[in-house]
Amino acid sequence: MRELATQVREAARALPAADRRAALRRLAQALLDNADAIAEANARDVSENPELSPSLAARLLLSPAKLETLAAGIRSIADAPDPIGRQLRATELGEGLELRQVTSPIGVVLVIFESRPDVLPQITALAVKSGNGLLLKGGSESSHSCRLLHRLALDAMGVGPVVGLVESRADVASLLELDDVIDLVIPRGSNSLVRHIQSNTRIPVLGHADGVCHVYVDEAADPTKALDIVLDAKTDYPAACNAMETLLVHHSVDPAPLREALEASGVTVHTEVEDWHTEYSGLECALRVVASMNEAIDHIHQHGSGHTEAIVTEDDDAAQRFLAGVDSACVFHNASTRFADGFRFGLGAEVGISTSRIHARGPVGVEGLLTTRWKLVGQGHTAGSFARGERTWTHRDLG
């Protein structure tokens, strides 16, 4: 496993931007050219896993329409501007000594996903575009599809093994120990998968184990907006991580209309709750009446997961205090929690949603796969010449 991870790192380092673009265009084409073989491998996965629920089986399926969308997505990633080497800061340190902070690949990223085999070419495109080496572990139920997609990806890369695929849990366990070779782990799947990985590696994990999101209906809320937002936040897609799990209502607001509307939409509303840190992931939510906005904020800090919280109010001062005071990745005013999403945020592809405060937070696009480096260009400059007063620091912003 160490050898595989090291190979992947070195192959990624050796691949220049023009080659990365060409490789991704070849990958997009290969998905279309090999549609029949992919359909066959996928059909084997489906037939060998008759026990899957309808929703999991649907995720496993690689229909021709999915392949078309996938190929189009990969072409658009291929043709996007090179994300590497983008200048973030430039400073003249002294005469003739110029410092630039530029974006660069992280190194090696391990992505662990379940069910959906289309994650493989998609995340391959994002990782290759951003100059990273990639290690992948798919779900066992999609092994035939993943093996074929991995082979197509390797063929398209042309040069060495930028993308490695592992299949067993033992291999994943070995990879999770390689914190000196692997820089980031991205688990894409159930809460229990994320939690398992977070507690079994020293490698930083980009993701979120829980999405316990709140909507707080303030005393100055517009009742129609409150109703619209609460219903959307819970029922638009109840299993999503950005769905509302707890509704907090100011004591001066009658909660009955909200509760009745939720119930009319099939939502079970819990008011006697043992554990307020519960992600119902279905047509259920908790309801609590609070004495003040501060009590709502305290509740969120104590029981939330730091994902996404919304306030409904016509009082702009209250909204400002809520947005400044709530310490979550996403804080919304008069908008549904369901907007917390990479595509909706306009980030292009979504690498994941992070509730960590380190590296990247909230919905994360391709910038989550980047770090920065400092490039300094001089003309024989020494630190001693500044200490001796032969040169002087200018620290001039070069924009």
276 makes contact with a second copy (CB under 8 A): no
Dihedral of CA atoms 335, 339, 343, 346 in degrees, nearest 10, equals 30
Whose structure tokens read 């189009």? 72
d(CA 141, CA 102): 41
373 makes contact with a second copy (CB under 8 A): yes
Ranges of H-type helices in 199-292: 223-235, 256-264
Helix (H) or strand (E) holding 21: helix 17-33
Q: Which is nearer to a second copy, 1 or 185 (CB)?
A: 185
Which residue stretch of 27-35, 68-76, 155-163, 385-393 sits at the interface with a second copy (rule: CB under 8 A)? 385-393
Q: Which is nearer to a second copy, 276 or 339 (CB)?
A: 339
DSSP 8-class letter at 81:
P
88 makes contact with a second copy (CB under 8 A): no
255 makes contact with a second copy (CB under 8 A): no
Q: Among positive and negative, which fits the CA dihedral 55, 59, 62, 64?
A: positive
Binding residue for a second copy, selected from 30, 119, 217, 319, defined by CB under 8 A: 319
Binding residue for a second copy, selected from 65, 383, 389, 399, defined by CB under 8 A: 383
86 makes contact with a second copy (CB under 8 A): no
d(CA 327, CA 309): 9
Which residue stretch of 57-65, 67-75, 136-144, 220-228 sits at the interface with a second copy (rule: CB under 8 A)? 220-228
3-state SS assignment for residue 275: coil
Binding residue for a second copy, selected from 332, 351, 355, 366, defined by CB under 8 A: 332
Counting beta carbons within 10 angstroms of the beta carbon of residue 125, is it exposed (0 to 12), middle (13 to 18) or buried (19 or more)? buried
d(CA 262, CA 259): 5
Counting beta carbons within 10 angstroms of the beta carbon of residue 359, is it exposed (0 to 12), middle (13 to 18) or buried (19 or more)? middle
Q: How far is the CB of 7 from a second copy (least distance, A)?
A: 13
Q: Which is nearer to a second copy, 256 or 358 (CB)?
A: 358
Binding residue for a second copy, selected from 35, 195, 281, 345, defined by CB under 8 A: 345
Binding residue for a second copy, selected from 46, 70, 148, 229, defined by CB under 8 A: 229
25 makes contact with a second copy (CB under 8 A): no
d(CA 126, CA 351): 8
Binding residue for a second copy, selected from 236, 284, 295, 315, defined by CB under 8 A: 236
d(CA 310, CA 302): 16
Binding residue for a second copy, selected from 49, 174, 278, 334, defined by CB under 8 A: 334
d(CA 283, CA 269): 9
Which residue stretch of 73-81, 168-176, 226-234, 254-262 sits at the interface with a second copy (rule: CB under 8 A)? 226-234
Q: What is the greatest pairwise CA distance in the chain? A: 79
Binding residue for a second copy, selected from 73, 83, 107, 121, defined by CB under 8 A: 107
Chain residues binding a second copy by CB under 8 A are: 10, 13, 85, 91, 93, 97, 99, 104, 106-107, 183-184, 202, 204, 222, 224-225, 228-229, 231-232, 236, 301, 312, 319, 323-325, 327-336, 338-340, 344-346, 357-359, 361-363, 371-387, 393, 395
